[in-house]
């Protein structure tokens, strides 16, 4: 769909076909514009003036041009355009294509028309004197204060600026991009009462690779107001974005694209910050990391079982079917695939840490699938408050206060996932300890080439123990923490985003735990050169290309990092 009107461009900004196609020409144009705009902006202290709302001016429109029409894959082939013709059409598959793969979006004109119709209805209600939180009143405890009509347009800009108190390193671009997409699709329901112009702008900036600089903390209390204010104040030319890895004033970045700062209309500033899109955006990224980590842990467990000579009978799916647990059965079937061709002799019962791998990993898989099901709901959710709803089900048209910004179900799921992966790491630690124990493994003590003279792999276990202790602290739930803010008006929080941040750090540790275990398994393979099932032999060969046998004591830190990178790459699972 072609835009109906071009967005007004900043003075002096030019449009270039080469720039629209992207690549070196576009980057060069941005550098030139950045230099021009930066000189003006950085040497001039701009007063904080709130512009008049577009809704108070007849015939004023701001329709952005369509960007990214030349978006291409790395191999040079064009990316397909994803047409959004329904606000709830988004699923995790489409989400990943847009957010992770960079496929551009196009908004259906009929959908944008519906957005404008709902906004017109909301504006009529406001003109008739209907009160609305954050539009005709202040926010939080100050919602008791009525805002004079002449001050209401300025309030929306003020909302975006006055809550940006975050600090720290920026959030990953994929997470910020995901939050932009979820705000956009939520707005397309019409229930937030924003304009189609704002929706078009969000779509254009998504397509153009807009990278707001959003500090990683703190996260806010009710909802995600602090990081969202940092994210969306860039639309009005405040705050910072990242360009070519460097922090740049948002005002200058807009000018480099030939765009003027956006002027939020009534309720639009509130709608941009009053929601919960960041937690699900980060959670999707974490789920995508966690699933291959679980598969890697399953591979490590199979390899440990083979190298210590334990029985593979534990992996029989018949055991899982007796438990009536489909997730346990799935893990046992995977273990059986990895162990295919191995020995099935009846051997002495192995320690619990080797026998309960299907039960533990199956439970982790169950929790992981549950969080992914919750995310399928979250990416379709409308989390604004208040909502402007049409008459239905015997209820009148008007403003409806909402608690949809409170992501309690997701917070519970993320806490459960942190507990699950902390236990996954605990199990790996126990396997490693058994591997080092000559009484059980039958291998040289501590996997040393010359026990006593050499330390062997015992220090690897010490590192894993420390990581597991930290994991147990990170597994403490965030979702049970509540506190009063805003004089008690905002007195209950979900802290889903905090739970996701804890989980991110915990998964970093799990990667290292598995790297330490794999390093020890590589040494065990060197010491026990017995036939292995083909899938496990391939994994050992991959490890051998990175790590040489431990024939004498040497620094292992760099090798742990190399194996950690191997875990992240997923090559062992290929």
**What is the pairing mode between strands 167-170 and 387-389?**
unpaired
pLDDT in tens, 399-454: 999 988 888 999 999 999 999 999 999 999 999 999 999 898 889 999 998 888 88
Per-residue model confidence (pLDDT) at position 455: 87
For every residue of 170-195, DSSP letters joined together read EPPHHHHHHHHHHHHHHHTTSTT---
The confidence band for 58, taking pLDDT boundaries of 50, 70 and 90, is very low
Mean pLDDT over 310-326 rounds to 91
> Is there a contact between 332 and 367 (Cβ–Cβ < 8 Å)?
no
Mean pLDDT over 447-465 rounds to 91
Segment among 27-31, 153-157, 542-546 with least mean pLDDT: 27-31
Mean pLDDT over 89-108 rounds to 97
Mean pLDDT over 79-87 rounds to 92
How many whole angstroms separate alpha carbon 506 and alpha carbon 509? 5
Segment among 16-20, 57-61, 173-177, 541-545 with least mean pLDDT: 57-61
Spatial neighbors of 452 by CB under 8 A, at least 6 apart, are none
Mean pLDDT over 505-528 rounds to 97
Per-residue model confidence (pLDDT) at position 27: 55
Per-residue model confidence (pLDDT) at position 345: 63
Structure tokens at 321: 């079917």
Phi, psi of 470 (to 5 degrees): -65, -40
The yes-or-no verdict on residue 56 having pLDDT over 50 is no
Mean pLDDT over 313-339 rounds to 94
pLDDT in tens, 184-241: 999 999 999 999 999 999 999 999 999 999 999 887 667 799 999 999 999 999 999 9
How many whole angstroms separate alpha carbon 177 and alpha carbon 98? 9
* Distances 13 to 3, 31, 535 between C-alpha atoms, Å: 19, 12, 59
How many whole angstroms separate alpha carbon 113 and alpha carbon 188? 10
Per-residue model confidence (pLDDT) at position 52: 35
Phi, psi of 100 (to 5 degrees): -85, -45
Per-residue model confidence (pLDDT) at position 71: 62
The yes-or-no verdict on residue 160 having pLDDT over 80 is yes
Cα 86 → chain centroid:
23
Percent of the chain with pLDDT over 90: 71
The yes-or-no verdict on residue 557 having pLDDT over 80 is yes
Ordered alpha helix ranges (H), 379-407 = none
Structure tokens at 103: 């496929």
User: Which is nearest to 320 in space by CA: 335, 310, 305, 308?
Assistant: 335
Per-residue model confidence (pLDDT) at position 286: 98
How many whole angstroms separate alpha carbon 500 and alpha carbon 276? 13
Spatial neighbors of 262 by CB under 8 A, at least 6 apart, are 62, 198, 201, 235, 236, 237
Per-residue model confidence (pLDDT) at position 24: 55
> Is there a contact between 457 and 447 (Cβ–Cβ < 8 Å)?
yes
The yes-or-no verdict on residue 129 having pLDDT over 70 is yes
Percent of the chain with pLDDT over 70: 84
H-run or E-run covering 304: helix 278-307
**What is the pairing mode between strands 105-107 and 82-84?**
parallel
Q: Which of 75-89, 417-431, 534-548 has the highest mean pLDDT?
A: 417-431
Per-residue model confidence (pLDDT) at position 451: 87
Per-residue model confidence (pLDDT) at position 107: 98
How many whole angstroms separate alpha carbon 282 and alpha carbon 516? 27
Per-residue model confidence (pLDDT) at position 340: 81
Mean pLDDT of the chain: 86
Per-residue model confidence (pLDDT) at position 149: 93
The confidence band for 472, taking pLDDT boundaries of 50, 70 and 90, is very high
How many whole angstroms separate alpha carbon 293 and alpha carbon 361? 11
pLDDT in tens, 368-396: 999 999 999 999 999 999 999 999 999 99
Per-residue model confidence (pLDDT) at position 49: 29
User: Which is nearest to 23 in space by CA: 65, 77, 80, 72?
Assistant: 72
The confidence band for 488, taking pLDDT boundaries of 50, 70 and 90, is low
The confidence band for 1, taking pLDDT boundaries of 50, 70 and 90, is very low
How many whole angstroms separate alpha carbon 243 and alpha carbon 210? 9
Segment among 178-187, 264-273, 332-341, 519-528 with least mean pLDDT: 332-341
Q: Give me the domains of the chain, ranges plus CATH numbers.
A: 17-43+50-275 (1.10.275.10), 282-381+401-573 (1.20.200.10)
More confident residue, 205 or 56: 205
The confidence band for 325, taking pLDDT boundaries of 50, 70 and 90, is very high
> Is there a contact between 237 and 19 (Cβ–Cβ < 8 Å)?
no
The yes-or-no verdict on residue 51 having pLDDT over 70 is no
For every residue of 400-416, DSSP letters joined together read E---TT--HHHHHHHHH
Q: Give the CA angle between residues 424, 425, 426 to the nearest 5°.
A: 90
């Amino acid at each position: 769909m072609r835009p109906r009107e071009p967005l007004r461009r900043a003075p002096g900004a030019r449009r270039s076909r080469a720039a629209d196609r992207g690549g070196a020409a576009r980057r060069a144009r941005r550098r030139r514009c950045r230099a021009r705009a930066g000189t003006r902006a950085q040497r001039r202290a701009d007063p904080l003036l709130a512009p008049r709302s577009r809704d108070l001016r007849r015939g004023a429109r701001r329709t952005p041009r369509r960007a990214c029409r030349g978006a291409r894959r790395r191999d040079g082939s064009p990316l397909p355009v994803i047409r959004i013709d329904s606000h709830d059409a988004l699923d995790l598959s489409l989400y990943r294509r847009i957010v992770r793969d960079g496929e551009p979006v196009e908004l259906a004109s009929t959908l944008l028309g519906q957005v404008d119709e709902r906004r017109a209805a909301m504006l009529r209600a406001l003109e008739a004197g209907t009160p609305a939180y954050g539009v005709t009143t202040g926010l939080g405890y100050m919602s008791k204060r009525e805002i004079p009509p002449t001050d209401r347009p300025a309030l929306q800009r003020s909302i975006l600026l006055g809550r940006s108190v975050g600090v720290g390193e920026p959030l990953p671009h994929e997470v910020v991009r995901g939050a932009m997409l979820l705000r956009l699709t939520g707005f397309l329901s019409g229930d937030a009462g924003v304009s189609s112009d704002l929706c078009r702008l969000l779509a254009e900036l998504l397509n153009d690779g807009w990278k707001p600089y959003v500090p990683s903390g703190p996260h806010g209390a009710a909802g995600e107001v602090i990081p969202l204010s940092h994210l969306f104040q860039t639309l009005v030319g405040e705050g910072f974005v990242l360009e070519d890895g460097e922090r740049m004033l948002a005002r200058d970045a807009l000018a480099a694209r030939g765009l003027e700062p956006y002027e939020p209309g009534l309720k639009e500033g509130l709608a941009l910050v009053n929601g919960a899109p960041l937690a699900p955006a980060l959670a999707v990224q974490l789920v995508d990391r966690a699933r291959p980590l679980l598969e890697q842990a399953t591979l490590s467990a199979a390899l440990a079982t083979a190298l210590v000579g334990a029985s593979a009978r534990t992996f029989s799916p018949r055991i899982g079917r007796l438990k009536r647990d489909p997730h346990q059965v799935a893990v046992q079937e995977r273990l059986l695939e990895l162990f295919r061709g191995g020995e099935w002799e009846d051997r002495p019962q192995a320690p619990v840490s080797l026998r309960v791998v299907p039960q533990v990993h199956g439970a982790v898989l169950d929790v992981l699938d549950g969080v992914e099901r919750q995310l399928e709901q979250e990416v379709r959710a409308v989390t604004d408050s208040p909502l402007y709803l049409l008459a239905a089900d015997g209820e009148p048209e008007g403003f409806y206060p909402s608690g949809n910004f409170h992501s309690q179900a997701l917070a519970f799921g993320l806490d459960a996932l942190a507990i699950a992966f902390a236990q996954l790491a605990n199990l790996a630690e126990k396997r490693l300890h058994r591997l080092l124990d000559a009484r059980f493994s039958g291998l040289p003590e501590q996997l040393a080439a010359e026990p006593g003279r050499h330390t062997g792999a015992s220090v690897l276990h010490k590192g894993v123990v420390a990581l597991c202790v930290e994991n147990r602290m990170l597994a403490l739930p965030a979702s049970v923490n509540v506190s009063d803010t805003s004089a008690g008006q905002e007195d209950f929080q979900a802290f889903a985003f905090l739970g996701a941040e804890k989980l991110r750090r915990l998964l970093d540790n799990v990667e290292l735990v598995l790297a330490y275990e794999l390093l020890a398994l590589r040494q065990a393979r060197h010491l026990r050169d017995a036939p292995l099932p083909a899938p496990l032999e391939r994994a050992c060969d991959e490890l051998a290309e990175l790590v040489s046998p431990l024939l004498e004591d040497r620094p292992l830190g760099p090798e742990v990092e190399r194996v950690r990178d191997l875990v992240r790459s997923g090559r062992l699972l290929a």
